[in-house]
Amino acid sequence: MMSDREPQHKIRADHLRRDAFLYIRQSSLQQVFNNTESTQRQYALRQRAVALGWPIDRVHVIDSDLGQSGASAVDRHGFQKLVAEVGMGNAGIVLGLEVSRLARNSSDWHRLLEICALSETLILDEDGLYDPSHFNDRLLLGLKGTMSEAELHVLRARLQGGLRNKARRGELQIPLPVGLAYDDAGRVVLEPDAQVQSTIKLFFQVYQRTGSACAVVQHFHQQQLNFPRRLRLRERAGRLVWGPLQHSRALQVLHNPRYAGAFVFGRTRARRLPSGRTGLVNQPQEAWHVLLPDAHPGYITWSQYQDNQRVLRANALAHGQDRRKSPPHQGPALLQGIVVCGACGRRMTVRYHHRYGTLVADYVCQHDRIANGRSVCQVIPGRTIDLAIGELLLKTLRPEAIELAYGVQQEIRERQAEIAKVRQQQVERARYEADLSRERFMRVDPNNRLVADSLEADWNEKLRALNTAQETANQQMKQDAAVFDDETRRSVMKLVDDLPALWGNPHVCNRDRKRIVHLLIEDVTLIRGKELQVNIRFKAGATKMMSLPLPMNAWQQRETSAEVIAQIDRLLEEYTDSGVAAELNRLGCTSGMKRLFTRLIVARVRRDSQLVSREVRLRNRGLLTLKAMAQHLGISTTCVKIWHAKGLIVGHAYNDKNECLYEAPAGPNIPRKSQGLKLSDRAQAAKVISHPSNEVHHAS
Ligand SMILES: [Zn+2]
| Mean predicted confidence (pLDDT) in 310-323 | 63
Across the chain, what does the average pLDDT equal? 78
Q: Say what the pLDDT of residue 403 is.
A: 54
Give 108 or 564, the one with higher predicted confidence: 564
Beta strands 532-538 and 521-528: pairing type?
Answer: antiparallel
Judge contact between 57 and 46, C-beta under 8 A: no
Q: How far is the CA of 329 from the centre of ligand 1 (A)?
A: 22
Q: Say what the pLDDT of residue 19 is.
A: 92
Q: How far is the CA of 343 from the centre of ligand 1 (A)?
A: 5
Question: Which of the residue ranges 184-193, 375-384, 399-408 would you say has the lowest mean pLDDT?
Answer: 399-408
CA dist 562 to 346, 567, 606, Å?
42, 9, 12
Q: How far is the CA of 537 from the centre of ligand 1 (A)?
A: 18
Q: How far is the CA of 395 from the centre of ligand 1 (A)?
A: 29
pLDDT at 666 over 80: no
From the candidates 3, 27, 38, 437, give the one annotated as an active-site residue.
27
Quickly state the pLDDT bin for 260 (edges 50, 70, 90).
very high
Strand ordering across the sheet containing 339-341: 339-341, 521-528, 532-538, 543-548
pLDDT at 237 over 50: yes
Q: Say what the pLDDT of residue 143 is.
A: 74
Q: How far is the CA of 166 from the centre of ligand 1 (A)?
A: 55
The percent of residues above 70 in pLDDT, for the chain, comes to: 76
Q: What is the pLDDT of residues 274-296, one digit of tens each?
A: 666 677 888 888 888 888 888 88
Question: Phi-psi category of 179—alpha, beta or left, where left has phi over 0 and alpha has psi -120 to 50?
Answer: left
Q: What is the pLDDT of residues 337-387, one digit of tens each?
A: 888 888 888 888 888 877 767 778 888 888 777 666 677 888 888 888 888
Quickly state the pLDDT bin for 322 (edges 50, 70, 90).
very low
Integer Cα distance of 54 and 56 in angstroms: 6
pLDDT at 132 over 70: yes
Q: How far is the CA of 527 from the centre of ligand 1 (A)?
A: 9
pLDDT at 5 over 70: no
Question: Which of the residue ranges 388-392, 429-433, 493-497, 537-541 would you say has the lowest mean pLDDT?
Answer: 493-497
Q: How distant is the alpha carbon of residue 271 from its chain centre?
A: 30
pLDDT at 303 over 80: yes
Q: What is the pLDDT of residues 42-82, one digit of tens each?
A: 777 888 888 888 988 889 888 766 655 444 555 567 778 88
Q: What is the pLDDT of residues 568-606, one digit of tens each?
A: 888 988 898 889 989 888 888 777 667 788 888 888 888
227 DSSP β-pair partners = 243
Q: Say what the pLDDT of residue 38 is.
A: 63
CA dihedral over 641, 644, 648, 651, signed as positive or negative: positive
Question: In terms of C-beta density within 10 A (0-12 exposed, 13-18 middle, 19 or more buried), how is residue 536 classed?
Answer: buried
Nearest to 112 by CA among 130, 134, 94: 94
Quickly state the pLDDT bin for 256 (edges 50, 70, 90).
very high
Question: Which of the residue ranges 36-45, 148-157, 480-489, 609-618 would you say has the lowest mean pLDDT?
Answer: 480-489
571 DSSP β-pair partners = none
Integer Cα distance of 538 and 546 in angstroms: 13
Q: How far is the CA of 341 from the centre of ligand 1 (A)?
A: 5
Q: How far is the CA of 344 from the centre of ligand 1 (A)?
A: 4
Question: In terms of C-beta density within 10 A (0-12 exposed, 13-18 middle, 19 or more buried), how is residue 478 classed?
Answer: exposed
- The dihedrals phi and psi of 54, each to the nearest 5 degrees, come to -90, 130
Q: How far is the CA of 108 from the centre of ligand 1 (A)?
A: 54
Q: How far is the CA of 346 from the centre of ligand 1 (A)?
A: 6
Question: Which of the residue ranges 214-218, 264-268, 553-557 would you say has the lowest mean pLDDT?
Answer: 553-557
Quickly state the pLDDT bin for 301 (edges 50, 70, 90).
very high
Quickly state the pLDDT bin for 324 (edges 50, 70, 90).
very low
Query: Which positions ≥6 away from 145 have C-beta within 8 Å?
Result: 100, 101, 103, 104, 105
| Mean predicted confidence (pLDDT) in 157-167 | 78
CA dihedral over 392, 394, 399, 405, signed as positive or negative: positive
Give 75 or 5, the one with higher predicted confidence: 75
Question: In terms of C-beta density within 10 A (0-12 exposed, 13-18 middle, 19 or more buried), how is residue 674 classed?
Answer: exposed
Quickly state the pLDDT bin for 633 (edges 50, 70, 90).
confident
Integer Cα distance of 574 and 596 in angstroms: 20
pTM flag (> 0.85): no
Give 526 or 593, the one with higher predicted confidence: 526
Most distant CA pair in the chain, distance: 148
Q: Say what the pLDDT of residue 257 is.
A: 92
Integer Cα distance of 407 and 177 in angstroms: 33
CA dist 26 to 23, 40, 96, 368, 456, Å?
10, 11, 11, 56, 42
133 is catalytic: no
Half-sphere exposure (CA, 13 Å, Cβ side) for 146? 5
Q: Say what the pLDDT of residue 66 is.
A: 60
Q: Say what the pLDDT of residue 201 is.
A: 93
SS3 at position 541: coil
- The dihedrals phi and psi of 227, each to the nearest 5 degrees, come to -120, 140
